[in-house]
Every structure is written in structure tokens, then in C-alpha cells.
Structure 1
Amino acid sequence: MPLGKLLARENKQGAYGLGMNFLARFDSYLFLPKKMLFCYRQQRFTRDEPAPQRILAIRYYAHRVELFSNPPAALARFGLQNGDVLVEVNGSKVLPEGIHYLRIALADTPAGQLTLKIDRHGKMKTIRM
């Protein structure tokens, strides 16, 4: 599930981290490190963020960026499938090092203005969303 516009980073040991702005989003919180307990009130957690246009989960796998772990019905309305490889987004080549910006473009590009070029089992397809 998306966590607003927050960026979670993974280190080489597989641990994840969030920046300090993460804590600033809570109304109140309590962290007990000895018990690994984090209690919070989050009524307005994403209060400063507009709702995304769409949520499309992607991953970098086997040297490519692909749609992954999305509910099939959510993809079907766009003519997409999990496993579709993203080749271009709005005319720009998809590069693994730009995956963070790609996620933003997929979520926030206004309806009707997002164009994807995908590779599905060796066949190229262009989809406008």
C-alpha cells in the first residue's frame, strides 16, 4: 500500500528507513525502542497530499521495470496486466535508476495525459490513460 508521497529506502542489509518528515505527519506518537512499539494518531497523515490519479505498483526485476502485484481488475480497465514491461512513459525511456520518478508520473499524471509503451511477451503496445 502506498504511504502517501513518502519515500522508503532499503539498505544493502534489507532494512528500510523513512526520513524524519515521516514523524512530523502524525498528530501524536510514542516510540518505545526496547519493546519495538510505535503508537500513533494519524487522522490527517496525508493531509498535504492530493489523491493520486491511479495506483500502479511496479518493480525492477530481471533488468526491467514491470507492473507487479496489482489487482488484475484494477489493471484490466487500462488494458494492462501484471508482468507488462514498461518501455516508455510519455515518450521517455524507462530507466531503473529513475523508478522513484516513474512511480510519481504513474500516480500523478492527469487522466488522459499518460501514455505507456509496454512490452507484453515480446509484442509492443501503446496505452493512453
Structure 2
Amino acid sequence: LYRLSKEPQTKPIETRSIIQFIPFRLQQRLFTMSPKPSSDNGIEGDDEREEEEDFEEEEDEEEEEEEDEPRLKYQRMGGSVPSLLSSDAASCIAVAERMIALGTHDGTVHILDFLGNQVKEFSAHTATVNDLCFDIEG
């Protein structure tokens, strides 16, 4: 049941500014909830204790995610890659089972091993290499 009161009505809170500060996963939980609960817990069924607990759980989950070890180990390519990229910028890259192809803006395709050493070079284009791909055989 709804309670009638003589209190003046307030304007609704503008949610656009509030949503910016709510993490996306929490937004999903907030906006996909079931219909409004009954008003036994106060105004429109809101219970501040539950909201605080939910917020603390979200913070704990975010901290756990940050503590995970990285799944990939990154390492700067060595070999002849630094000298190749000192004269021209890379425009695309493709990785096969046994080699890497690196396309540049001057139209050159460099075939590299996984250490970054140049195996072969093709200068068939005069414009930027937009895309590279290997067939099934490599």
C-alpha cells in the first residue's frame, strides 16, 4: 500500500551524472533487477545496508581481478626489427606457425623469425601494405 503525505514532492535525481561514476558491471546489476520491491524497508524498498554490502562486494571483486597475473608475457622484438623500423613505420603484421610477416608504409614486406631476425624481404609495392595473411601451409 502507498502512504499519502503532505510533504512537497522533490525532483527526481538526474541519473546521467551519477551513472558516470558507477562501474559497468554494477550498472548491469542495477538496471536489470526485478520489479520494485515492496515499501516495507523504507522509501520504495531501498535498504541502505544492502546497497553498502553490494558496493563492498564489487570492490572486492575488482581487487581480485587486479591481483591476477598477466596471461601474456610481452617482450620487445629484437633482431633486425629495430633497424627495419628506424627507417620506416610498420603498417601491418601477420603471424604464422613458423614466421612473422611485417608490412611497412613504403610497400616492403619483411619475413622474420620469432626472434625478429629478417629472413626475406619483398619490395613489390610502392604504396603502404594494408594487410597480410598466410595460407594454411604458411
TM-score normalised according to structure 2 size: 0.27
More strand by share: 1
More helix by share: 2
More contact order relative to length (CA 8 Å, sep ≥ 6): 1
Name the larger-Rg structure.
Answer: 2
